[in-house]
Amino acid sequence: MLVQYYYPNILKPKQLDNYLSKGWFRNANMMYRTKLICLNSELHSVVNIRLKTEEFQPSKKFRKIIRRNDFRFSVIYRPAILDEEKNALYQDHKSRFEGFIYSSLELFFYGEEQAANIFNTYECCVYDGDELIAVSFFDVGENSMASLLALYKQTYRKYSLGIYTMLKEIEFAQKQGIQFYYPGYVLDQVSIFDYKLKIGTYQFYNWKTNRWKKWQLREKMEFHADVLKEKIAKVEKVLAEYQIDYEKLIYPLFSIGYIDYSYLRSPIFISCFENEIPSLVVEYWLEEEQFVLSNVSTLEFESNPNIVEFSKNHSAENNFFNLICYNYNILVTNDPYELMDFILEWKEEDFEF
């Protein structure tokens, strides 16, 4: 499946290890796994990465950052404490986040339900005297550690505190005998997340084999996003041949379709005839390897800004931000040309299936 959710009531350290080792990561109070993500009006593949701590040695550049900051600041590790001081850092940092953004630090960790924390979450606090200038949060399992979030005061930017807290997290893992450090994911293309790759030599999760492999050039990797874009391009080619107007749209809400199958579950789709409100859409289901033509309707997506906000890039024109629900599937096929009879009939007769 492209997207999977798991809401555990209890999560033992060894269970966290197991989920992390299979490409899952934490999102609020749940475990979440996705192969695709919509960011900056583009469709991307997610590339989960991890570091083997026993093999890690910081580079000369990073040793210099560690020495300078260790001398200048003090660091405290402890179970996470969410307070107003850290939430203020979070509010200052929200503008640099992409996609769906939780409105507060508590929502980031516990979600809208404000469920009890079942994760063994620690924090790495950096102080300049008595002043908190940076904090990072990480979950600890039996043999794994997952980095969650790093925040720092912008006035201390020259000290590379985001990198510094990552290095201190790895140092913590090494001292605790933790084998794997999971800093989340990067994308199939160069992105703002690539700072993580500067730290050391990573492994990446191969979705095809369900195994971890040594990091390699992205050009040598296989990505689900490329397959999906290629299939949608085939539909565009056929529509152009038949002179059918259409609009290609990115659908950031696609993961909702994996909670409730009555909603569209493709992150990119074709809206036939460029209607302002899509009614006839073509998508490609990767799991079934089929093109799907559907009659759909839309519902306004009511996002509570007190819970979730959107980054500025998410408001781009080619992003569709209302919920799309299936009325019914008209045709499922592996040949995009087979779609045309139904699309042409719809165009010429305004026929309702």
- How confident is the model over 219-269, as pLDDT tens digits? 889 999 999 999 999 999 999 999 999 999 999 999 999 999 999 999 999
Residue 317 main-chain phi, psi, to 5 deg? -60, -35
What's the Cα-to-Cα distance from 180 to each of 51, 125, 183, 202, 345, rounded to whole Å?
6, 21, 10, 10, 56
Q: Would you state the pLDDT for residue 353?
A: 43
3-state secondary structure of 331: strand
Residues with Cβ within 8 Å of 124's Cβ and at least 6 positions away in sequence, in order, are 75, 76, 77, 135, 136, 137, 138, 165, 168, 169, 172
- How confident is the model over 136-194, as pLDDT tens digits? 999 999 999 999 999 999 999 999 999 999 999 999 999 999 999 999 999 999 998 99
Task: With a cut of 50, say whether residue 351 has pLDDT above it.
Answer: no
Q: The domain 3-220 belongs to what CATH superfamily? A: Gcn5-related N-acetyltransferase (GNAT) (3.40.630.30)
The predicted model gives 207-229 an average pLDDT of: 93
Reference 291, options 212, 231, 203; nearest CA is 231
- Can you give the residue ranges of every domain in the chain? 3-220, 224-349
- How confident is the model over 256-290, as pLDDT tens digits? 999 999 999 999 999 998 777 889 999 999 999 99
- How confident is the model over 4-60, as pLDDT tens digits? 999 888 999 999 999 999 999 999 889 999 999 998 889 999 999 999 999 999 999
What's the Cα-to-Cα distance from 221 to each of 50, 107, 155, 187, 294, rounded to whole Å?
16, 35, 39, 11, 32
Residue 2 main-chain phi, psi, to 5 deg? -70, -35
**Tokens matching residue 294:** 């559907």
Q: How far apart are CA 312 and CA 48, in angstroms?
A: 25
Q: Would you state the pLDDT for residue 272?
A: 93
Q: Would you state the pLDDT for residue 114?
A: 61
* 80 contacts 121 by C-beta, under 8 angstroms: yes
Task: With a cut of 60, say whether residue 303 has pLDDT above it.
Answer: no
Q: Would you state the pLDDT for residue 316?
A: 62
Task: With a cut of 70, say whether residue 113 has pLDDT above it.
Answer: no
Residues with Cβ within 8 Å of 83's Cβ and at least 6 positions away in sequence, in order, are none
Give the range among 15-29, 64-78, 104-118 with minimum mean pLDDT: 104-118
Radius of gyration (C-alpha) of the chain in whole angstroms: 23
Give the range among 12-21, 71-80, 109-118, 197-206 with minimum mean pLDDT: 109-118
88 compared with 301, residue with greater pLDDT? 88
* 36 contacts 267 by C-beta, under 8 angstroms: yes
Q: Would you state the pLDDT for residue 197?
A: 94
Q: Would you state the pLDDT for residue 308?
A: 63
Ramachandran category for residue 55: left, alpha or beta (phi over 0 → left; psi -120 to 50 → alpha): alpha
104 Cα distance to chain centroid? 18
Could you tell me the sign of the dihedral formed by the alpha carbons of 217, 220, 224, 226, in that order? positive
**Tokens matching residue 64:** 């210099």
Reference 102, options 149, 60, 134, 51; nearest CA is 149
Q: What confidence tier does 307 reach under pLDDT thresholds 50, 70, 90?
A: low
Task: With a cut of 70, say whether residue 312 has pLDDT above it.
Answer: no
Residues composing the chain: 353
Residue 348 main-chain phi, psi, to 5 deg? -80, -35
Task: With a cut of 70, say whether residue 212 has pLDDT above it.
Answer: yes
Give alpha helix (H) positions in 194-332: 224-241
The predicted model gives 201-216 an average pLDDT of: 95
3-state secondary structure of 325: strand
